């Protein structure tokens, strides 16, 4: 496949010890050779590094090291060059300018990775995993992205797709002999394969909730009446004075979000305004925002002051916020100020009044008592989302939607067999199933989908 030659800064913008510029395309090596004062790059062996200077005519721009990579054993499967220079943004700009002057052009977002895909170096799910790997902010997301880069999801479904393709071929053959009324495809064997595919698709689809938690973090709303200790808890979890702590009720007027990492998983902690009826307009806005945040949260950590005598407001608030898909953790706070008998009484009150299943924890954020218990409960929520059926975890919305379409198509094929619908319709539904399965790896795709995927990549990748 012939391509023009592209170039871009591969390292982050800004000052650094070293910067790297990547060049890829048919003329990557000749273009680089024109501006390099050192070894003749066109005669250099592949995967070698050479010392010299980048020059614009007679002007020396920088002292550099140039790495030469010849197709097809490169990231893009094209001839490629990497220039390592002193990490000045001005030097980067000058080198890019002289490359463009000599026949290269600036790469578009994700164009290097797109070329790797178009040249058959990687499939589409692997290309997307590269972006996920770059964006990974915790150990779990790094591992999942790396598994995808190794072809995780493609390996899971490719052999199923191959088997299905064999049946499609037999069904198509039946259409060619429609007048003879013969069956080449064993319907019983096809049904067994469809059951196998259905189980695999369901397993992958179910992993998306866990994958989403890994990729985007688990939203944890910290809720309670004013001065219940929400900001103190947030600061204790993060071990810093991030939220304003005050004895004045209603101090937090807006929501505050921070990221907490526990056992390799990310949790988006949302500290909210105290929930209560209020005439203060600004505080009322904060309460409204707090309720909106709970609607989008995965976990609700409700703080109840253990020293309080009346919990009716807390109970009513919890009842107004609870959902079937919302994990509820009730924390009795400030237990350093009360006796064990008191917080046992508190738990009994909530157990009696709250019908939804919940975890009850006693904590003192000020004294750092039982904070690990809370962290363990948060971590267990994510761990319980793991699917035991598959080692592959779906983190990509596009993959999730394609799997859903594939599952619908498979179910329609099964219905077609059950009700002995015409071979033409059966062939149509089988092709649909194949197409949706192929969307994941990029075996079936279109330019609009590709443009949308790669436009989200950074320039230089």
Q: What is the mean pLDDT of residues 62-90?
A: 95
DSSP character string of 141-157: HHHHHHHHHTTHHHHHH
| Main-chain phi, psi angles of 278, to 5 degrees | -145, 145
Look at strands 265-271 and 218-224 and give their pairing.
Answer: parallel
d(CA 267, CA 213) in angstroms, rounded, equals 8
Query: Mind listing the pLDDT tens digit for each residue in 283-334?
Result: 455 566 667 778 888 999 999 888 887 888 889 888 888 888 899 999 988 8
The residue among 341 and 64 whose pLDDT is bigger is 64
pLDDT at 25: 95
d(CA 374, CA 222) in angstroms, rounded, equals 12
- Collapsed DSSP state (helix, strand, coil) of residue 83: strand
How many CB atoms are located within 10 Å of the residue 277 CB?
7
Whole-number average pLDDT of the chain? 82
Q: What is the mean pLDDT of residues 259-265?
A: 85
pLDDT at 250: 42
Place of tokens 């493609």: 154
Reply yes or no on whether the pLDDT at 350 is more than 80: yes
Q: Give first-to-last CA distance, the chain, whole Å.
A: 19
How many CB atoms are located within 10 Å of the residue 208 CB?
22
Confidence grade of residue 180 (pLDDT, cut at 50, 70, 90): low
Which tokens hold the place of 421? 């619908």
CA-to-CA dists, residue 429 to 53, 160, 187, angstroms: 61, 16, 14
pLDDT at 232: 83
pLDDT at 301: 92
d(CA 373, CA 376) in angstroms, rounded, equals 5
14: left (phi over 0), alpha (psi -120 to 50) or beta: left
d(CA 403, CA 397) in angstroms, rounded, equals 10
| Main-chain phi, psi angles of 211, to 5 degrees | -60, -40
pLDDT at 418: 82
d(CA 52, CA 225) in angstroms, rounded, equals 67
Confidence grade of residue 142 (pLDDT, cut at 50, 70, 90): confident
Q: Where are the alpha helices (DSSP H) in 71-186?
A: 89-101, 111-118, 124-135, 139-149, 152-176
| Main-chain phi, psi angles of 238, to 5 degrees | -90, -10
In 420-461, DSSP assigns E strands to: none
Q: What is the mean pLDDT of residues 194-205?
A: 86
Look at strands 327-333 and 359-362 and give their pairing.
Answer: parallel
d(CA 358, CA 275) in angstroms, rounded, equals 20
Q: Contact, 44 vs 80, CB < 8 A?
A: no
Query: Mind listing the pLDDT tens digit for each residue in 23-65?
Result: 999 999 999 999 999 999 999 999 999 999 999 999 999 999 9
Confidence grade of residue 251 (pLDDT, cut at 50, 70, 90): very low
| Best-predicted range by mean pLDDT (55-59, 114-118, 448-452) | 55-59
Q: In terms of Cα–Cα distance, which of 174, 175, 192, 191 is closest to 183? A: 174
Exposure letters 74-107 (e unless 16+ CB within 10 A, then b)? bbbbbbbbbbbbebeeebbebbbebbeebebeeb
| Among the ranges given (111-115, 136-140, 375-379), the one the predictor scored with the smallest mean pLDDT | 136-140
pLDDT at 252: 41
């Amino acid at each position: 496949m012939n391509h023009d030659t592209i170039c871009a800064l591969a390292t982050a913008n800004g000052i650094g010890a070293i910067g790297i510029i990547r060049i890829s395309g048919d003329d990557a090596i000749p273009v680089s050779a024109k501006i390099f004062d050192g070894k003749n790059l066109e005669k250099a062996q592949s995967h070698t590094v050479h010392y010299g200077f980048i020059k614009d005519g007679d002007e020396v721009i920088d002292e550099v090291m140039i790495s030469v990579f010849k197709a097809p054993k490169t990231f893009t499967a094209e001839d490629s060059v990497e220039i390592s220079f002193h990490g000045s943004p001005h030097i980067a700009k000058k080198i890019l300018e002289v490359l463009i002057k000599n026949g290269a052009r600036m790469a578009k977002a994700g164009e290097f990775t797109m070329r790797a895909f178009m040249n058959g170096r990687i499939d589409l799910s692997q290309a997307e995993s590269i972006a996920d790997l770059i964006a990974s902010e915790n150990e779990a997301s790094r591992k999942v992205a790396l598994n995808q880069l190794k072809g995780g999801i493609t390996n899971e479904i490719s052999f199923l797709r191959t088997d299905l393709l064999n049946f499609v071929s037999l069904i198509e053959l039946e259409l060619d002999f429609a007048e003879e009324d013969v069956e080449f495809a064993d319907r019983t064997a096809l049904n067994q394969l469809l059951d196998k595919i259905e189980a695999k698709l369901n397993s992958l689809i179910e992993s998306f909730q866990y994958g989403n938690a890994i990729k985007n973090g688990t939203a944890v709303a910290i809720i309670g009446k004013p001065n219940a200790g929400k900001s103190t808890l947030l600061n204790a979890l993060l071990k810093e004075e991030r939220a304003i702590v005050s004895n004045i009720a209603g101090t937090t007027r807006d929501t505050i979000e921070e990221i907490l990492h526990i056992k390799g998983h990310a949790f988006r902690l949302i500290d909210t305004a105290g929930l209560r009826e209020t005439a203060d307009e600004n505080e009322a806005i904060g309460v409204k925002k707090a309720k909106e945040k709970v609607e989008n949260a995965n976990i609700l950590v409700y703080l109840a002051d253990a020293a309080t005598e009346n919990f009716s407001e807390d109970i009513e608030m919890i009842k107004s916020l609870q959902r079937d898909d919302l994990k509820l953790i009730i924390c009795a706070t400030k237990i350093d100020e009360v006796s064990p008998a008191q917080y046992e009484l508190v738990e009994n009150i909530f157990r009696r009044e709250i019908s939804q299943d919940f975890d009850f924890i006693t904590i003192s954020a000020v004294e750092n008592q039982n904070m690990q218990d809370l962290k363990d409960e948060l971590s267990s929520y994510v761990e319980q989302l793991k699917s035991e059926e598959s080692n592959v975890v779906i983190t990509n919305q596009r993959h999730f939607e394609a799997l859903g379409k594939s599952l619908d198509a498979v179910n329609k094929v099964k219905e077609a067999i059950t009700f002995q619908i015409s071979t033409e319709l059966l062939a149509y539904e089988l092709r649909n199933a194949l197409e949706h399965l192929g969307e994941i790896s990029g075996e079936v795709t279109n330019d609009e989908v590709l443009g949308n995927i790669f436009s989200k990549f950074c320039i230089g990748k």
